[in-house]
Amino acid sequence: MASVSVDEAMRRAVALATRGLGATSPNPIVGCVLLDADGEVVGEGFHAYAGGPHAEIVALAQAGRRARGGTAVVTLEPCDHTGRTGPCSHALIAAGVAHVVIAVPDPNPVASGGAATLRAAGIQVTLGVRAAEAGAGNVAWLTSMRRGWPYVIWKYAATLDGRSAAADGTSMWITSEAARTDVHALRGTVDAVLAGVGTVLADDPRLTARNLRDGTLAIRQPLRVVVDSSGRTPADARVRDGAARTWVATAAEVGAGPDGRVDLAALLAELHHRGVRAALLEGGPTLAGAFLAAGLVDRIVGYVAPKLLGAGPTALADAGVPTIADAIDLEITDVTPVGPDLRITALPRKREA
Ligand SMILES: NC(=O)c1ccc[n+]([C@@H]2O[C@H](COP(=O)([O-])OP(=O)(O)OC[C@H]3O[C@@H](n4cnc5c(N)ncnc54)[C@H](OP(=O)(O)O)[C@@H]3O)[C@@H](O)[C@H]2O)c1
């Protein structure tokens, strides 16, 4: 086999890592390519699920003795601690690897230190190769580890004139089956789905990730979180069925903000503590407005249907914007047709302090 450059190997490692998307949390996605001393690929691996072998271990097992004197190309700094599996830094040292190339350092204080351990063992370590690409795949995990609360994606569905329901309250369905199927796929990539008690009382949603045609549940279900200051969620609400874990987060349990409602920052801190790295905020407009007003939304995914209603509630209620100069500016990063609808992805621009 022909030899490949370290840069090509990293590109491959980044692609391998994405195969674990949605299955590794609370761990990151990681990919690894092992080159022998001549630069030939002798092992490949990715982290497939939390508790399973790390990418480096899979690649080392494939390479066997051919790893000796070779180069390990890995998207995230190899871990340096014993969790459910042993430290990858030690496995790389034991395998006799000469060079370790890392895209992104590990911000997790518990697991970091792998690069230092490798260097101390006399192994050459190179950091930062294709860091932007590798970091993009792990953006939710990296963001949540650095700051201690989950990466929050606000998802909504609306008509072209921004309505989330008709004047009589009917809202099923604004968007197409294709768009709703896309939402279920999105739910499958996060650790928690959040809704306000207003949505639970109005729509009685299940908030599970499932096949819309036959109702089959996805293997991995996000935690369902109802943000419900005084515990108004009915005992027989669908969100309380046994299909997935549910947490009705009350102000008494989480803490209350100045308005007496659930303190959203405290809610996110608790979710992080429970292993949630990415959370999907599914509304409704009141809760979404409160999250946006507090600057707690990292990404917006809007499904916009080619329909007009002219009246009825809007997708977003008060978000703390009294005047046009205070509008929440967004950077649109993607526009993709989904069936007859458009999926628009945007990032809130950071406000000047
Ligand atoms: N188009 C869409 O994408 C979409 C998505 C979801 C829902 N909806 C629609 O939205 C409607 C419901 O709207 P909604 O605004 O009443 O629902 P909501 O935003 O889901 O729930 C609002 C409730 O959340 C509770 N809450 C707890 N802590 C809060 C905090 N810190 N800040 C703000 N709220 C907090 C409040 O009740 P307590 O104070 O009692 O806790 C509040 O009344 C439904 O008709 C539904 O169909 C549309």
Q: Residues 109-155: pLDDT tens digits?
A: 777 789 999 999 999 999 999 999 999 989 999 999 999 999 999 99
Question: What's the pLDDT at 168?
Answer: 94
User: What is the rounded average pLDDT of the residues 216-233?
Assistant: 94
Share of the chain above pLDDT 90, in %: 86
Q: Is 196 in the pocket of ligand 1 (CB under 6 A)?
A: yes
- Find out whether the beta carbon of 230 lies less than 6 Å from any atom of ligand 1: yes
- Residues ≥6 apart with Cβ < 8 Å to 136: none
Q: 253 catalytic, yes or no?
A: no
**What span, in angstroms and rounded, lies between the C-alpha atoms of 126 and 58?**
21
Cα–Cα dist 280/175, whole Å? 18
Work out the number of other CB atoms within 10 angstroms of the CB of residue 296: 19
Residue 159 beta carbon below 6 angstroms from any ligand 1 atom: no
Sheet with 192-196, side-by-side order of all strands: 246-249, 223-227, 192-196, 278-281, 151-159, 299-305, 341-348, 330-338
DSSP 139-191: HHHHHHHHHSS-EEEEEEEEETT-BSS-TTS--TTSS-HHHHHHHHHHHTTSS
Cβ 108 under 6 angstroms from ligand 1 = no
Residue 351, pLDDT score = 63
Cis peptide leading into 234, omega within 30 of 0? no
Distance set, CA 103 to CA 6, 305, 339 (Å): 11, 39, 36
pLDDT at 176 over 90: yes
Instruction: Give, for ligand 1, the residue of 229, 291, 296, 344 to mutate: max count of ligand atoms closer than 8 Å to Cβ.
Output: 229
- Residues 10-37: what's their mean pLDDT? 94
SS3 97: coil
Please tell me the distance between residue 258's alpha carbon and the centre of ligand 1 in angstroms.
18
Question: Model-level pTM?
Answer: 0.91
Regarding the beta carbon of 59 and ligand 1, being less than 6 Å apart is answered no
Distance 140 CA to ligand 1 centre (A): 24
Among positive and negative, which fits the CA dihedral 267, 269, 275, 276? positive
Confidence of residue 17 (pLDDT cuts 50, 70, 90): very high
C-alpha–C-alpha distance, residues 154 and 282, integer Å: 6
Output the CA 269–ligand 1 centroid distance in Å. 20
> What digits encode the pLDDT tens for the residues 153-175?
999 999 999 999 999 989 889 99
Q: Please state, in angstroms and rounded to a whole number, the distance separating the CA atoms of residues 189 and 174.
A: 23
* Mean pLDDT within 315-341: 97
**320: CA distance to ligand 1 center in Å?**
16
Q: Is 72 helix (H, G, I), strand (E, B) or coil?
A: strand
Does the beta carbon of 104 lie inside 6 Å of ligand 1? no
Position 198 confidence tier, pLDDT thresholds 50, 70, 90: very high
What's the pLDDT score for residue 1?
A: 61
Residue 2: pLDDT above 90?
no
Whether the pLDDT of residue 38 is over 70: the answer is yes
Q: What local confidence, expressed as pLDDT, does residue 78 receive?
A: 96
- State the distance from the centre of ligand 1 to the C-alpha of 317, rounded, in angstroms: 9
Alpha helices, DSSP H only, in the chain?
Answer: 6-17, 55-63, 88-94, 114-120, 131-137, 139-147, 177-187, 197-203, 251-254, 264-273, 285-293
**Distance from Cα 196 to the centre of ligand 1, integer Å:** 4
- Kindly tell me if the per-residue pLDDT of 32 is higher than 90: yes
Q: Is the CB of 229 under 6 A from ligand 1?
A: yes
- C-alpha span between 181 and 83 (Å, rounded): 36
Highest mean pLDDT among 43-47, 79-83, 170-174: 43-47
Question: Which residues, 6 or more positions from 261, have their beta carbon under 8 angstroms from its beta carbon?
Answer: 229, 251, 290
Copy the structure tokens of residue 347: 């990032």
CB burial class (10 A; 0-12, 13-18, 19+) of residue 86?
A: middle
- Residue of minimum CA distance from atom 24 in ligand 1: 196
State which ligand 1 atom lies nearest to the alpha carbon of 195: 20
The residue whose CA has the least distance to atom 13 of ligand 1 is 284
**So what's the pLDDT on residue 25?**
86
CA dihedral 76, 81, 86, 92 (to 10 degrees): 50
CA dist 314 and 56 (Å) reads 48
Q: What is the mean pLDDT of residues 220-243?
A: 96
Give me ligand 1 centre to Cα 301, in Å. 17
- Region 53-75: what's the mean pLDDT? 97
**Which of the four pLDDT bands, split at 50, 70 and 90, describes residue 51?**
confident
Catalytic residue among 44, 56, 77, 282: 56
Ligand 1 atom showing the smallest separation from residue 287 Cα = 19
Q: What is the spatial distance between Cα 118 and Cα 98, in angstroms, rounded to a whole number?
A: 10
**Taking the mean position of all CA atoms in its chain, how far away is CA 99?**
31
Ligand 1 proximity of 195 Cβ (cutoff 6 Å): yes
Q: pLDDT: is 96 or 211 the higher one?
A: 96
**What are the b/e assignments for 316-333, b being 16+ CB within 10 Å?**
bbebeeeeeeeebeeeee
Q: Does residue 247 line the site of ligand 1, with CB under 6 A? A: no
DSSP label at 138?
T
* pLDDT surpassing 60 at residue 352: no
165 lines ligand 1 (CB under 6 A): yes
**pLDDT tens column, 256-297:** 999 999 999 999 999 999 999 999 999 799 999 999 999 999
Q: Which of 280, 287, 344 to mutate to test the pocket of ligand 1 (most atoms within 8 A of CB)?
A: 287
Q: What is the mean pLDDT of the chain?
A: 94
